[in-house]
């Protein structure tokens, strides 16, 4: 095992630990999420190198990871350690290796002349003779990482000298950007959160994932990106079939090229999309479930009645202006009634209890008024 420095992103801090923990479970590696502090950007964790690679292959909340070579109180301490650490650098010092050096202060900015002075001094101290410098494409990227995140009074919490291992997959957020997505609706889920949610439910090849309130498919897209086969139900015909006016200002009517399937095609994962059923998520008999469940995960964003109304199939009270006699209207078009928020979430949990496999997962959004 080696000691690694994890640098987390500054967005959606609440999801850092759950995402890390889910990925540990997904890859069957020891869950070290207990060592992460929700409010710290930098965190040191001891792990096997291949486990770090596995985490990086899926993580959205991890920005980057470094293998720690030296750890000290401040820059001066690291310089002193470098003078007596030639043994630790022997593995990097061969003719077929090249290196570059970066200075990365977190929570403080050095001016350019100070950075250059530090680089000059560190280059002098680095015990490397055979490996050559290559600034554009080095085989090893060393970094001096100073953690000023807690104390902005010029004094770092800790300073590390490390080797860059890799980055998380922030690039997927742009890949799934709503700006370039073919079909979006009023409440299409933000791609960063949708990707994190797909990690929380451990979407993976071989898994079948359901979104009972599927909308434009914003939550099942990343699940399929991770290899899961996905299916959704949506009660609103126009949303499910991408008909009517586009949610994009000024775009006018939706065209035949815009649909939930077109979104899957856009990202090259149409083979992972089972389809979208126009159906009422409160009708659980839609699914034939045995004792063992049918879905490995549910990922969803139910209607809260703010941007998207909650509706379910049911009878309205007869109104005086209705012209059809008796109960004839009940057979005419399926009627819809208001679907109250408490019932939405009760139904969702009951659905999960019935259709999820043992140890299957559900991740859903729930509106909270923080003061209450």
Ligand X SMILES: C[S@@+](CC[C@H](N)C(=O)[O-])C[C@H]1O[C@@H](n2cnc3c(N)ncnc32)[C@H](O)[C@@H]1O
Residues at the interface with ligand X (CB under 6 A): 185, 187-189, 213, 215-216, 218-219, 233-236, 239, 280-282, 301, 303, 308, 310-312, 339
Minimum distance of ligand X from residue 365's CB (angstroms) = 8
List residues bridging with 229 in a β-sheet. 208
Sole residue written with tokens 């959004």: 365
Closer to ligand X at the Cβ: 62 or 351? 351
Q: Which residue is at the shortest CB distance from ligand X? A: 218
Minimum distance of ligand X from residue 126's CB (angstroms) = 49
Closer to ligand X at the Cβ: 105 or 191? 191
Minimum distance of ligand X from residue 106's CB (angstroms) = 33
Q: How would you class 370 by CB atoms within 10 Å of its CB: exposed for 0-12, middle for 13-18, buried for 19 or more?
A: exposed
Pairing of the two strands 98-106 and 62-72: unpaired
Minimum distance of ligand X from residue 368's CB (angstroms) = 15
Minimum distance of ligand X from residue 310's CB (angstroms) = 5
Closer to ligand X at the Cβ: 8 or 295? 295
Q: How many CA atoms lie within 13 A of 39 on its CB side?
A: 2
Report the alpha-carbon distance of residue 312 to residue 299 in Å, rounded: 19
Report the alpha-carbon distance of residue 51 to residue 24 in Å, rounded: 8
Nearest Cα neighbor of 18 from 50, 52, 60 is 60
Q: What are phi and psi of 311, to 5 degrees?
A: -135, 145
Closer to ligand X at the Cβ: 63 or 311? 311
Minimum distance of ligand X from residue 234's CB (angstroms) = 5
Show the tokens assigned to 176. 């799934």
Closer to ligand X at the Cβ: 158 or 348? 348
Closer to ligand X at the Cβ: 41 or 189? 189
Minimum distance of ligand X from residue 313's CB (angstroms) = 7
Helix-helix angle 75-83:112-125, to 10 degrees = 20
The sign of the CA dihedral 249, 255, 259, 264 is negative
Closer to ligand X at the Cβ: 126 or 210? 210
């Amino acid at each position: 095992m080696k000691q690694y420095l994890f640098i987390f992103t500054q967005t959606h801090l609440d999801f850092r630990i759950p995402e890390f923990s889910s990925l540990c479970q997904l890859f069957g590696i020891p869950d070290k999420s207990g060592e992460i502090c929700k409010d710290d950007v930098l965190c040191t964790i001891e792990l096997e190198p291949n486990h770090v690679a596995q985490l990086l292959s899926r993580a959205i909340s991890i920005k980057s990871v470094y293998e720690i070579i030296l750890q000290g109180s401040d820059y001066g301490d690291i310089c002193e350690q470098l003078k007596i650490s030639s043994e630790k650098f022997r593995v990097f010092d061969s003719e077929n290796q090249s290196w570059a050096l970066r200075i990365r202060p977190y929570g403080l900015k050095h001016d350019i002349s100070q950075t250059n002075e530090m680089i000059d001094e560190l280059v002098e101290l680095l015990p490397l003779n055979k490996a050559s410098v290559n600034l554009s494409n080095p085989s090893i990227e060393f970094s001096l990482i100073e953690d000023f995140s807690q104390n902005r009074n010029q004094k770092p919490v800790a300073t590390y000298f490390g080797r860059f291992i890799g980055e998380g997959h922030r690039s997927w957020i742009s890949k799934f950007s709503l700006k370039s997505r073919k079909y979006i609706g009023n409440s299409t889920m933000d791609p960063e959160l949708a990707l994190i949610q797909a990690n929380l439910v451990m979407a993976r090849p071989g898994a079948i994932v359901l979104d009972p309130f599927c909308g434009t498919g914003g939550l099942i897209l990343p699940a399929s990106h991770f290899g899961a086969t996905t299916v959704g139900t949506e009660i609103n015909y126009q949303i499910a079939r991408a008909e009517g006016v586009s949610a994009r200002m000024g775009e006018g009517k939706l065209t035949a090229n815009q649909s939930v399937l077109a979104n899957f095609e856009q990202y090259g994962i149409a083979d992972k999309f089972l389809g979208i059923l126009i159906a009422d998520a409160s009708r659980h008999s839609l699914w034939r479930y045995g004792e063992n469940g049918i879905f490995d995960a549910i990922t969803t964003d139910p209607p809260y009645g703010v941007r998207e109304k909650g509706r379910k199939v049911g009878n309205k009270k007869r109104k005086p202006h209705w012209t059809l006699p008796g109960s004839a209207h009940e057979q005419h078009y399926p009627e819809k009634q208001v679907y109250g928020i408490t019932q939405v979430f009760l139904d969702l949990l009951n659905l999960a209890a019935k259709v999820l496999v043992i140890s299957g997962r559900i991740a859903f959004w729930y509106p909270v008024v923080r003061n209450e």
